Amino acid sequence: MMQHKLEIRTAPSPEVTRRMNVEPLTVVATNAGCNFAYAAVRNAGLRVERWYSVEMDPICKRVSETIVPAKQLVHLADDTGLVGNLTDDIIMSRPIH
């Protein structure tokens, strides 16, 4: 049986409070899946103004709509290749196969 050591460091309360007071983020999530990253961003104390999602899977889009509030979520495109035409600045990721 293989054992893995997993260490998860949490931020001290003052750091989380500081993050909660910075300007809200605008995020472009490419190959977003179900946008579970949204929960990690929020749990880190960061606020979100707009969450642009790029995902083609209709089931993942529906799941995303239960995680990301409607006033923040924008389904930007179905294909990451189209995003460059819709935004000025983007950091691209690629799916893991």
pLDDT in tens, 35-63: 999 999 999 999 999 999 999 999 999 99
Q: What is the mean pLDDT of the chain?
A: 84
CA atoms of 50 and 25, how far apart (whole Å):
7
Structure tokens at 66: 């239960």
Closest to 32 (Cα-Cα) out of 71, 79, 84: 79
Question: In this structure, is residue 59 part of a structural domain?
Answer: yes
Its pTM stands at 0.76
Question: In this structure, is residue 90 part of a structural domain?
Answer: no
CA atoms of 41 and 23, how far apart (whole Å):
14
Question: In this structure, is residue 94 part of a structural domain?
Answer: no
Q: Which residue has the higher pLDDT, 28 or 68?
A: 68
Question: In this structure, is residue 9 part of a structural domain?
Answer: no
So what's the pLDDT on residue 95?
Answer: 53
Q: Which residue has the higher pLDDT, 61 or 88?
A: 61
Question: In this structure, is residue 14 part of a structural domain?
Answer: no
Q: What's the domain range around 65? A: 21-83
CA atoms of 35 and 65, how far apart (whole Å):
9
Per-residue pLDDT at 85 exceeds 60 = no
Question: In this structure, is residue 7 part of a structural domain?
Answer: no
41 phi/psi in degrees, rounded to 5: -65, -45
So what's the pLDDT on residue 88?
Answer: 46
